[in-house]
């Protein structure tokens, strides 16, 4: 399966999506957990790992926003993921433009009338342009007939539209530029925080907002600002839950927990 960009006709090699999937699986993170954490449709994430962007928004900003959210959810550097995507896309476009056409194009029954009509218009325009200009009118009545008519607005929209520097059709194009099949994500925060997690004894299984982050001690990086729930799970010990908040004033948070041995069940 190759990564297809229908908006530009480019094809990416299959290594990009496969590398993202391998990174996710190495961290033991499911697609359902990534979808719940990023609020992105699971089908979009599955298509990304299959190298198929035919259902993704064609706008570059929305695509990179999705990639950034995906990278943060599985613990990758979002800048490196986006830069890698841009390099793959540029290389694919360059290789596609270098491929010559497989053969001469053939005229179809639809294109022949179009070519004839264009040829007729060109010859007609040339004959009118090369023809000698008519004599100027001598009578005032004839001169009055040649006075240009007052400009009439092309449509009601041009009259009613306020003078804001853009026309009404252009404003409508901007309004419909947003893809209808997905809600555009908010611009991601620029904070890239981290949580350093430790436990006593070490080796406890850690879940951050329901996503597996491995045994302690562990460092979870590239996190946006917000609140996080950290759960410690260790066989033979009582589970413990901690909460941490990342903000611009406190981008690095350290969380620790002392686990108590579980009491044996009474017989």
3-state helix/strand/coil string of the chain: CCEEECCCCEEECCHHHHHHHHHHHHCCCCHHHHHHHHCCCHHHHHHHHCCCCCCCCCCHHHHHHHHHHHHHHHCCCHHHHHHHHHHHHHHHHHHHHHCCCCCCCCCCCCHHHHHHHHHHHHHHHHHHHHCCCCCCCCCHHHHHHCCCCCCCCCCHHHHHCCCCCCCHHHHHHHHCCCCCCCCCCCCCCCCCEEEEEEEECCCCEEEECCEEEEECCEEEEEECCEEEEEEEECCCECCEEEEEEECCCCCEEEEEEECCECCCCCC
Does the residue 121 lie in any domain? no
Does the residue 231 lie in any domain? yes
pLDDT tens for the chain, residues 1 to 267: 344 444 444 444 567 888 888 888 988 999 899 989 888 888 888 888 888 878 888 888 888 888 889 899 888 898 888 888 888 777 777 766 654 545 556 666 667 888 888 888 888 887 777 765 554 455 444 444 555 544 444 444 444 444 444 444 444 454 445 554 555 554 544 678 899 999 999 999 899 998 988 899 999 988 888 899 999 999 889 999 999 999 989 999 999 999 999 887 665
Structural domain ending residue among the three candidates 54, 79, 98: 98
Does the residue 22 lie in any domain? yes
At 80, which CATH number? 1.10.260.40
At 226, which CATH number? 2.60.40.1120
Structural domain ending residue among the three candidates 65, 98, 131: 98
Structural domain ending residue among the three candidates 79, 98, 117: 98
Count how many domains the chain has.
2
Q: Which structural domain range is residue 85 located in?
A: 3-98
């Amino acid at each position: 399966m190759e990564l297809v960009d229908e908006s530009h006709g480019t094809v990416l090699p299959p290594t990009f999506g496969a590398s993202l999937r391998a990174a996710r699986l190495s961290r033991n993170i499911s697609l359902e957990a990534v979808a719940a954490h990023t609020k992105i449709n699971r089908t979009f994430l599955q298509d990304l790992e299959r190298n198929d962007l035919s259902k993704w928004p064609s706008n570059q900003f929305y695509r990179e926003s999705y990639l950034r959210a995906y990278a943060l959810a599985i613990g990758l550097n979002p800048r490196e993921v986006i830069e890698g995507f841009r390099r793959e896309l540029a290389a694919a476009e360059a290789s596609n433009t270098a491929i010559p056409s497989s053969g001469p194009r053939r005229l179809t029954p639809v294109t022949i009338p179009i070519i004839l009509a264009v040829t007729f218009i060109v010859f007609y325009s040339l004959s009118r342009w090369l023809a000698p200009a008519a004599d100027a009118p001598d009578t005032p009545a004839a001169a009055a007939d040649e006075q240009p008519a007052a400009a009439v607005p092309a449509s009601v929209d041009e009259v009613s539209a306020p003078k804001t520097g853009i026309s009404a059709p252009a404003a409508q194009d901007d309004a419909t530029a947003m893809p209808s099949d997905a809600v555009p994500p908010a611009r991601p925060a620029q904070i890239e925080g981290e949580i350093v997690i430790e436990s006593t004894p070490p080796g406890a299984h850690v879940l951050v907002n329901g996503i597996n982050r491995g045994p302690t001690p562990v460092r979870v990086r590239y996190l946006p600002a917000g609140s996080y729930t950290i759960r410690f799970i260790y066989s033979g010990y009582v589970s413990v839950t901690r909460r941490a908040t990342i903000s611009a004033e406190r981008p690095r948070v350290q969380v620790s927990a002392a686990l108590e041995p579980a009491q044996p069940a009474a017989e």
